[in-house]
Structure 1
Amino acid sequence: MEKKRFAVLMCAEDSEYVKKVYGGYSGVFVKMLEEEGETWDVYKVARGEFPEDDELFLYDGFVITGSCSDAHGNDTWVQDLLDLLNKLHSMNKKLLGICFGHQILGRALGGKVTRSPTGWDIGIRTITLSPSWSFSLTSLDLPPRLSIIECHRDEIRELPAKAEVIAWSEKTGIEMFKYGDHIMGIQGHPEYSKDILLHLIDRLIQGDCIIDAVGIQARERAALWEPDKEAWKRMCVNFLKGRL
């Protein structure tokens, strides 16, 4: 049987801490999604490293990661990524977008991404799955509400008509969406651990991206709940491998 092959499209730069402890952000994704007998490649698209057009057919699916960049921006690599995603969409490839990846997929399909009018969402949040979507997930034994780590200040404000919102929260109206059977976006971070979240909060404070009070509140919220990591893993693996 031919080995399945997947690629991580890295839209962020690794921190020294994540490289040292987790083998980089791409390693975090591969650890969550990889199954025996698969091949996983990594393309650092934020550095301009993209697969060639004649390589795209080799892959069964692609994962688009989070980023410190804006999905509504016009950096050269962001424009190149939009072009790539449209090619993959036309090829009906499985596409799983996380945080920035979720947003850039929404934009590629014709949606609108902006700063959230309610500001940053950092910590652990409970999201509600659409009844129509949760019905299709019954084989995975997932509850109708799931907790997930969030770290974003942008969000999808509008999706194209053919896209379906499949989860929302009190803060964000489009926490998840799907387009056909081959594209799914998740605003939160199913791959993150609490340790990565706390490290990221420190980086955001040190970089003056958020004020201390926001960081303290995020740490307090993170201490109250646990993300449903195993449930998210089951959902992401089964979507990417075509079992949903």
Structure 2
Amino acid sequence: MMLSLDHFVFSLTTAPYKELQRQRNWKHATSSRVGTRAASQYVAPGDDTITLAGMVAADNKIGTRASLDDLAKMGDAGDAYVLVDGMGTVFGAFIIDGLNETATYHTSEGIPRKIEFNLTLKRVADETLAAQQGDGKKTEDAAASRLNDIKAVSRVASDAVDRVKSLSLNSIKAGAITVAATMAPGAAEAAIKGLSTGNGAALDKALGAAKDISSGNGEAIAGIVSYILEKTSGT
């Protein structure tokens, strides 16, 4: 996994990028003064923009056209998505600001053999994520709590991978991030406790708590917990 934008995972089989460019700035207010330089005061963080430049060439097993369509649909939704890299670093909440495509080497049917793309992501306030949950908690604290859940699940998954050599790093981290991005904080906490212990009884208890707290995500949590339990037990 190169990056994960909510449920969309950038990889060689989806939409791999060869270049990541990040541009950040910070706001400073200034006021003119007679006979000296203008006074300056730091105000707040400014724009944070990430541009991914990559290529899709399905004939060479590099990405798929459908992956670019999925990104376009995410842009159409207008939602903010959590951006996480393969090491578990959470960049924050980002919207899809633009997607440019250049198709070349078309077949006689008009199908491009190569599509170069530039995806522009722009960071938004973290509380935007909480607002999308529909629970009325549009505060920064609610958003920060959710982001912390994602960091914790990703960190625990990485620890589990270090202990279990046969475990796939990309699959477990991608799964953990996807689940954490949609589950209730209570369910995330229960799953984290279960993953951390590596104990069968604790895993079962954590799984039960997770299902009680967030029934809609119970099966997804079950998949992650069961997978780790299966690998640690050597089955």
User: Shorter-chain TM-score category?
Assistant: under 0.3
- Where relative contact order (Cα < 8 A, 6+ residues apart) is larger, the structure is 1
Task: Flag the structure with higher strand content.
Answer: 2
Which is higher, the Rg of structure 1 or of structure 2?
2
Q: Could you state the TM-score of these two structures normalised by the residue count of structure 1?
A: 0.26
Q: Could you state the TM-score of these two structures normalised by the residue count of structure 2?
A: 0.27
Task: Flag the structure with higher helix content.
Answer: 2
